[in-house]
Amino acid sequence: MPRLILLRHGQSQWNLENRFTGWWDVDVTEKGEAEARAAGELLKDKGLLPDVAFTSLQTRAIKTLHLALEAAGILWIPETKDWRLNERHYGGLTGLDKAETAAKHGDDQVKIWRRSFDIPPPVLERGSEFDLSADPRYAGIDVPMTESLKDTIARVLPYYEGSIVPHLHAGSTVLVAAHGNSLRALVKHLSGISDDEITGLEIPTGQPIVYDLDDDLAVLDRYYLSER
């Protein structure tokens, strides 16, 4: 039976500080490290070990993956990193305190930027502090200056279909360690969640979500591994 395991990175420093993070490369906290290890131990205890892993180009997701695989005793499995599994780009909101942003622009406007399906935040200015255009890991990539959830889905799903689905068709158990919005894109696709409903879906840090799939990759079951 092919299985897909989705794991949001452990708590990051900017999660803790309640700041918009997006593509900015922020590390996990001590709590985030513990969450990642606990996820790996849970995979081992439940006998649900992945054969192959995928992650983004962002430290918090990569470190979460490595800590989880180490805890599970399978640090050696093949892994692939790709920018298309990155978090949604928060544009000009990057680095801002969420509460202060709400006080400045109003709760309703911030809710639109954070939770609407197809309305992106303000564009990040080229050359500003959080512009990653010159980051060597994104060489040759047209780095976005802002993204809506719809934009994020438009890069995540083709990558899923082209790079992850072949492993699932081969019957593998695949682990994807990524971010709230890139994983939200996969959950929306797999579970058939509407545009309106997906914006309200919260994906907790460090909690493996398991999809049991049939040979045609139709979903048989979806559950948090901690609840089984």
Q: Give catalytic residue positions.
A: 9, 87
pLDDT in tens, 174-186: 999 999 999 999 9
pLDDT in tens, 93-131: 999 998 888 888 888 888 888 778 999 999 999 999 999
Q: pTM value?
A: 0.96
User: Which residues is 79 bridged to in the sheet?
Assistant: 53
DSSP 91-141: GGGTT-BHHHHHHHH-HHHHHHHHH-SS-PPPPPPTTSTT--TT-GGGTTS
Instruction: Give the largest CA-CA distance in the chain.
Output: 51
Token pair in block for residue 191: 């579970």
pLDDT in tens, 50-106: 999 999 999 999 999 999 999 999 999 999 999 999 999 999 999 999 888 888 888
